Amino acid sequence: MKLTVPADGLRADAFLAEAVEGLSRSAAQRLLERGAVLCQGRPVGKSERLPAGAEVELDLPDPQPLEAAPEDIPLDVVYEDEDVVVVNKPVGMVVHPAPGHPSGTVVNALLHHCGASLSGINGVLRPGIVHRIDRDTSGLLIAAKNDRAHLALAAQLQDHTLRRLYHGVTIGALREDAGTVDAPLGRNPKDRKKMAVVPDGREAVTHYEVLERLPGHTYAAFRLETGRTHQIRVHMAHLGHPLLGDRVYGPPKGYPGLAGQCLHAKALTFLHPATGRPVTVECPLPEAFLAVLDALRRGT
């Protein structure tokens, strides 16, 4: 894997953790210690600062097989054919196995539902997974059932022809009825477990539209132009209006009746990988979301 350093003076380990999705800073340091990272043909030290524009070559090891076993977990399948499957993920369900979540994931459920009919491009760690949504966000997730479909959908993510629409409730009143947040995202320099708006982050663009103004809150729709980690959550917090129930980027006490942030992936539009025709899939708001809207409308 080849990467280009965007700004002068970045530490090698911090740069790699930011540039490579899913790579922690400690994992980046281990790669640096093994000599698996080269800059202009020479090994890079883990605390070395890199010059802007330098080309870094990273030799990533093959992913270790994870014991992701098929599990008979109920799935809310909203759309399915021989190429793709779209599921409505509930709040609290992790998308793919990872340390701390080895089972009970969407991948475990898909392996049972689809059998061997899942793309292998993402390896055994994430079979079929084209994109992700947060554990505590509900809604639509598309998976590919073969490599051809996976490549086509991944390309649509890159050129924005795969459109994702979310509904959410923010704390406070959004000033404009519609707008765009164009603010780069990266790891929070003070807390690497969080994301933040940072000058040298990756491009991130979120479009929003107010659906309903509620006492002390705003019910809004969000359309992703890019798909960075926690993008909507961080962008709304950046505006001073974090999502209701978001204990990471908003008040730590959360909100009664919500297990996570009040955010739901409501609609997906994509070009079918086999026919090229547009397909739009929608799903209703979950009961907890509807209960929040009802309580806010009643002022309780």
Annotated catalytic residues are: 134
What sign results for the dihedral spanned by CA atoms 231, 137, 225, 111? positive
Report which DSSP code applies to 243. B
Q: Indicate the angle between helix axes 12-19 and 25-33, nearest 10 degrees.
A: 120
Burial tier of 10 (Cβ tally within 10 Å: 0-12, 13-18, 19+) = buried
Q: Which residue has the tokens 């947040």?
A: 181
Torsion angle (degrees, nearest 10) of CA 164, 167, 173, 176: 30
Angle at CA of residue 172, ends 166 and 176, nearest 5°:
70
Give the rounded distance of the alpha carbon of 36 from its chain centre. Answer: 27
